[in-house]
């Protein structure tokens, strides 16, 4: 084995592989295994841009509708998400049905995002249990500053200016 291609990797794992003489290419997103291998053969996945496939949709936890809606401050209290195609900036609303305990509300939100086909969620805040659920379901979660709009959150994400939740853990 000469290389490992991953979306995310713990630093201790990275160091162990490097000590064994195995290259580690991380932050590969939005492509199938076959696409990642083909791109590795062609480009070595040497630049951050070469590691990004076609991201289909981004879910932004938002108050209101549209690209000018503001981020909600708490994931568990969300009633809707704005789902955005970052290539066309077309958006749609996904409403979350609530009813009951906060844990059930969180599960409803996670379920709605996964069912929407989003591979990324952007929020101002996220509970540890939701973070673990998204990681298990291969949905990357990012923290955006409070008060930004959906459009601004997408722009911050595209410029690599958002902190990914759980990437250091």
In the chain, what are the domains? 3-51 (no CATH), 58-164 (3.30.420.130)
Hey, what are 57's tokens?
């949709």
Residue 105 is predicted with a pLDDT of 56
Q: What is the pLDDT of residues 80-111, one digit of tens each?
A: 789 998 888 999 998 877 666 555 556 778 88
Which long-range contacts does 128-134 make (Cβ < 8 Å, 24+ apart)? 129/103, 130/75, 130/76, 130/106, 131/165, 131/166, 132/166, 133/106, 133/107, 134/110, 134/165, 134/166
pLDDT level of residue 143 (50, 70, 90 thresholds):
very high
Q: Which of 47, 81, 45, 44 is nearest to 62 (CA)?
A: 81
Could you tell me the two tokens for 132? 């673990």
Q: Does residue 51 surpass a pLDDT of 90?
A: no
* Res. 122: pLDDT tops 70: yes
Instruction: Give pLDDT, residue 119.
Output: 84
């Amino acid at each position: 084995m000469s290389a490992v291609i991953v979306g995310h990797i713990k630093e201790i794992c990275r160091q162990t592989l490097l000590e064994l003489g195995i290259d580690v290419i991380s932050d590969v997103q939005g492509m199938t295994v076959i696409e990642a291998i083909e791109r590795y053969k062609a480009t070595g996945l040497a630049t951050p841009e070469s590691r990004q496939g076609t991201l289909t949709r981004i879910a932004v936890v938002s108050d209101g509708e549209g690209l000018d809606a503001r981020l909600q401050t708490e994931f568990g209290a969300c009633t809707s998400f704005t789902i955005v195609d970052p290539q066309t900036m077309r958006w749609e609303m996904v409403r979350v049905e609530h009813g009951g305990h906060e844990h059930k509300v969180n599960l409803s939100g996670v379920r709605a995002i996964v069912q929407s086909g989003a591979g990324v969620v952007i929020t101002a805040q996220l509970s540890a249990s939701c973070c673990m659920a998204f990681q298990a379901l291969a949905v990357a979660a990012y923290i955006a500053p409070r008060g930004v709009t959906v459009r601004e959150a997408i722009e911050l994400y595209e410029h690599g200016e958002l902190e990914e939740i759980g990437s250091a853990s």
